[in-house]
Amino acid sequence: MNGQQMVLKLNDISSKKPGNIAAIFSLSNGYVGIQASNPINGSNDTGTLVNGFFEYSPITYGEAAAFYPKNNQTIVPVLNLRKIILLDENHHRFDTATIKDISLNLENGQLHEVYEVSNQAHKKIEMTVVSAIDQKNLSFYGIKFSFKPLSYKGKLIVDKRFKLDAISEAADIGAQEDPRKTRRVNSAAKQIIASADDREILKIATKKSNQSITIQGRSISKKLLTERDLTTSFDLTYIYQVSKGDENKVVPIEQHSFVKIKENSHQFWEKVWQQSAVMISGNDEINLALHFNIFQLNQAAGRDGHTNIAAKGLTGPGYEGHTFWDTEMYMMPYFIYTNPEIAKSLLIYRYHTLAFARKRARELGVDSGALFAWRSINGEETSAYYPASTAAYHLNGDIAYAIGKYYETTDDDEFMEKYGFEILLETARFWREFGSWTEKNGQKKFEFLTVTGPDEYTAMVDNNYFTNRMAENNLQLAYTVGHKLAVSNPKILLKLNTSENELRQFQHLSTNIYFPRNTQYAINAQDDSFFSKPIWPFQTTPNSQYPLLLHYHPLHIYRYQVNKQADTILADFLFPETITESQLGREFDYYEKITTHDSSLSRSIFSAVAARMGNVKKAYSYFSDTVRMDLIDLQGNTEDGLHLANLGGSWLDVVQGFAGMQVTAQGILKILPHLPEEWNSFEFRLMFKKRLLKFVIDQQITEITLINGDPLEVIINQKKYTLSKIIKINN
């Protein structure tokens, strides 16, 4: 792929709204995120987000009940590190900046912008901004401003000192009208604790969550307030260090340079593309969009085991900076197969929230095990609407599924012994205590009552198919992993206060879980009551009334067969060996007709499943919307932050959809490709069992190259081969 195809430019996005530009062209490293806000017109107090830095605010209920969450958690935007003040020689402010060009280099992580800046006297200068964020020493960010005279050639005063605007208390903006937006809590106290000509240190502390951030800014030119003659062009460069408390101060700011920041960024991205490049021949627009999605996925992921990926990453404050089930189902697969170390860190985050999860299970009346928070930053449940959150118990199974896939791919026994098995054990215990035995068709079956599946338009039902399938997998994983680890480390069961008998209980439950079925259509039923409801009146619902959640009361929606997103179809995607091709076709046809795709999580799953079915035309239609969702602002809210789960979904579509990549029950990598007619070929790379593999697929040939690692067995088009160096198979 040539360099031109690895640069995202202004013309590559459909909406030029400032909020969209700020989110799409943002820079982050999983720790700190910098939105590409206008340096002249942007706010002082927004634009910079720190992963895990949040504030509490009380949840107000009209009528409360026992164990409702007491507090919101909202990510706190800190000072805008891009903000700059320009004055002419008469101290008149240049207060308008029009963007002329912007480009994000996906190969090295550098952002390049050009603005025309003017004042009320219509004097103009050109300002070029180059910025990068450090991908090794994560607390560092560098930005260089270059100024060029246009109609103004006098003295230019450049002020890059920290500015502290008046801070308002909790402002509940937009949270009631649109639950996807944030609750902008701005109650953090800000104080400049040190100041000199060339540097300032700012401390930001939250009042209720008791967190603090220290930001140190340094001017390479030795002055934060500079007066220069603009008869010729000149540059000014600034370095910022953002630290949580006393963390990330291993490298003093004096020893860091903008050159080093750019070098560390370039080296990081070089490794990313070496391990996870996906290249499409035949459609440069889709190719660029896919690389952008992968770029932003890598930028968003917390890497310290204590932070995760927010629904919007660090590109915007939407959904208040919360982590959901999105991570494990949509984003984790990319990291498992391309950067297992980051996948492990994301899973360790869940381990560090186990204490909150155990407490939540007790609050729900379950005497053992753990129930992870539906939406949270630090692991405490913060959702005030339990029918579409806490009742979505499938999150436990989603986390267990991701752990199982990580282990299947890496054989990381150390992770399992330290972290993974304990999570599997605690989630399996939850299912055991939460479920109940019943008689179905003359047989004793284990079922789960009053739950909500992935489809948030169907809440509080019995035996949601997806939930039951995830619970079955969770229980079986606890059994098989426990037995495997006990062989190599007999003390592991004693350490976690479990036994062979408890493991056998899990296996017994997993083999007796009930799955609802609709006999009329010969398909899996989404839940026990789904087919007793009328179908939503799609023909009389105007387009202006979508998404339904913004226009209809939840109880109105719950009375109908209507899906916000993939539910049973998602289970079919995750467990392909549990369903025949003919039944999958019937299920896809039925559920597709009643799915609105109001959720950004939906289209990618329908695309991947359609591709596996061989319906490549339909798969490509869904994929086209998925891969460009934020670049075309398909959901209409990109300005609140990118849809990170959907970005992961676009990778799923290519690798697990069009390439048909699966891992069999025997642990063998399997490929069954379906090439879209719009492409000449496509290729991608995977990490699998400590091996780096390259796949190239065109209309005639599937080629797999073992870049490094030992030989392994693979399945291509239903036939088994031993890959020692390279295999070429006719399609």
From CA 728, how far away is CA 722, in angstroms rounded? 12
Q: Which two tokens stand for residue 550?
A: 């913004």
Token duo for residue 323: 């982590």
How many whole angstroms separate alpha carbon 627 and alpha carbon 619?
12
Q: CB–CB of 117/86 below 8 Å?
A: yes
Cα 135 to chain centroid distance, Å, stands at: 18
Please tell me whether the peptide bond between 547 and the residue prior to it is cis, using omega within 30 degrees of 0.
yes
DSSP assignment of 132-192:
EE-SSSTTEEEEEEEEEESS--SEEEEE-S-------S----STTT-TTS-------EEEE
Active site residue 55: no
Q: Note the helical H segments in 459-516.
A: 465-488, 491-495, 500-510
**In the block, which residue shows the tokens 């599937």?**
702
Residue 526 structure tokens: 């989404």
E strand map for 274-332: 278-281
Type and span of the H or E element at 341: helix 340-352
CA distance to 74, 441, 534, per residue, from 538 (Å): 36, 35, 11
Q: What residue type is assigned to position 355 of the chain?
A: A
Put the strands of the sheet holding 48-50 in their side by side order. 27-28, 32-34, 48-50
**How far apart (Å, rounded) are the C-alpha atoms in residues 305 and 51?**
12
Select which of 380, 381, 456, 587 is catalytic.
Answer: 456
Question: Mind telling me the catalytic residues?
Answer: 456
